[in-house]
């Protein structure tokens, strides 16, 4: 049973190097980075989240010395980058596709009729 009078320490950082090393931390970082870039710069290509995911994964692989074989280590980091991307964008979910009702076709690109919000899909 937990003591209700015990004082719990509040972490001083929102993200730490230890939390970025987890799937939840890396996924949160990708979501926040891409969502912020979308909101601030109105920039949201589909490849950006994949690039950020792979960079976070490779930095994590570079900073850890868990495997001696560099080829295996960076191959696993690439796979982890894809996993981070799939988790951040929800592509690992089994759902149907919904048609975009508030867009129009303009040449080869799809143009949105309204301004994007922070939680508008960037993938």
Q: Where are the domains of the chain?
A: 17-91+101-112
55 pLDDT exceeds 80? Answer: yes
- pTM comes to 0.64
Residue 43, pLDDT score: 84
Residue 50, pLDDT score: 92
Interval 81-103 mean pLDDT: 72
Q: How many Å apart are CA 56 and CA 4, to the nearest integer?
A: 38
Quick: pLDDT tens for 63-78: 877 667 778 888 999 9
């Amino acid at each position: 049973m937990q003591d209700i009078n015990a004082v719990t320490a509040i972490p001083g950082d929102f993200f730490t190097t230890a939390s970025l090393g987890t799937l939840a931390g890396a996924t949160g970082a990708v979501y926040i980075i891409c969502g912020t870039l979308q909101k601030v710069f109105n920039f949201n290509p589909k490849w950006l989240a994949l690039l950020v995911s792979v960079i976070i994964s490779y930095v994590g692989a570079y900073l850890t010395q868990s495997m001696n074989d560099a080829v295996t280590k960076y191959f696993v980091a690439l796979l982890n980058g894809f996993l981070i991307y799939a988790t951040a964008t929800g592509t690992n979910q089994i759902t149907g596709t919904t048609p975009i009702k508030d867009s129009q076709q303009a040449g080869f690109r799809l143009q949105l009729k309204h301004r994007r919000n922070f939680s508008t899909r960037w993938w």
